[in-house]
Amino acid sequence: MFPIAYELQNNDFYIKRGRRSPSRSTRKKAHKMKRPKVGLFGRLYPSCAFDGRCVIETYVCRRMKPSERERERRSQRQVETERSREFVVGVCKIRSIPCQFSRSTDESCLCLVCAVLCCVVLWCLDVSSLMSDPVSEDLLRVGHYELSSTLGKGNFSLVRLGVHVLTGVEVAVKIVAKSKLDAESASKMRREIQILRSLSSHPHIIRLFQVMESPSGIYMVTEHAQKGEIFDYIAENGRLPEDKAAKWFAQILSAVGHLHGLGIVHRDLKAENLLLDEHQNVKLADFGFSNFYSSGVLLSTWCGSPPYAAPELFEGKAYVGPKADIWSLGVVLYVLVSGSLPFDAPTLHELKARVLSCQYRVPFFLSSHCEDLLKGLL
């Protein structure tokens, strides 16, 4: 015996366990609804969704293949999409227990309003894409988000531009294939999500909206910075005037200071991880190497990009996390005001020598205040 769903009218569903044919009560209900067409939908599969505070168990139902008459009326693309679509057609249970990728310590139950909103959202959730290859660029939809262009690629992840189907809000969807995650990578992923959730209220840190999980992938929905990376901006427009560089650097300092105040180090500060929103405000992103730290405890893992790395990392020594971030901030400031890297070399060996000797050229056009700040950071 397995659950069966029948479509009644206007995307309303009737769920029943057992028989494949509509029961008398189903036919009676259909009659009261002005005799809508009652069609067998197929098997229902158990599924779940979560937002970090609760797990919502649901039934997922797959559409039947369209009839020949429907094939004639619709385009081939619509038919292929229809053939594989799945819908959440019932909510089984709402639990306040966090999922494995959402280690929230708040065990309080969901309020009634939030529960109702979650149920309403789930009833219109299309989860067909969660059953597909997670990192495939052919993936068209994740949850409520239609996917389009690729924003970036990593070793085991892909970042796609997403648009919310109801509000039209653009987001960035980081898609991670579970098959490519080992135990260490999965631990880093959980830590990244935990850190992002604790930082979502800061105006200059990229916000995490939602985390979804399927059998094959993990999907992180974050704020989309429409103007892209500061690195690309400088590559296209050249170095910044000092007043503009001062504004952006102050925003970067605000974000990093907020991190350090919460006992978190970024460990991958660079121009490529500093994004710009539609108003050209800075958003700190990419917390894959971030970690928690305690006063007096040294870190030992090499993290980040070599041109931005502090001398103690090149020496292979244990280091103080915030001090390594401060060195990287000095390199970022140099990039903003000069349009180039202070330490650059064709080989890693030469780069190490320059960083350890702190050999860099101070541009002649910098003001004395900016020069003093650079020397204090590097």
Which residues are part of the catalytic machinery? 268
**Short-list 172, 140, 179, 141, CA closest to 158:** 172
Q: How far is CA 355 from the centre of its chain?
A: 33
**Short-list 115, 178, 171, CA closest to 143:** 171
The amino acid at 161: L
Q: How many residues does the chain have?
A: 378
Strand partners, 205: 284
Residue 205, class by beta-carbon neighbours within 10 Å (0-12 exposed, 13-18 middle, 19+ buried)?
buried
Residue 144 falls in which region: left (phi positive, over 0), alpha (psi -120 to 50) or beta: alpha
Residue 117 CA to residue 166 CA, distance in Å, equals 14
**Short-list 279, 229, 287, CA closest to 258:** 287
- String of DSSP letters for 111-133: PHHHHHHHHHHHHT-B-GGGGS-
Decide: 63 and 74 in contact? Cβ < 8 Å: no
178 annotated ligand binder: yes
Going along the chain, which residue ranges are E strands? 3-7, 13-17, 39-50, 55-62, 86-95, 141-142, 145-153, 157-164, 170-177, 208-213, 217-223, 228-229, 264-265, 274-276, 282-284, 291-292
Residue 370 CA to residue 335 CA, distance in Å, equals 12
Binding site for ATP, by residue number, is 178
Binding site, by residue number, is 178
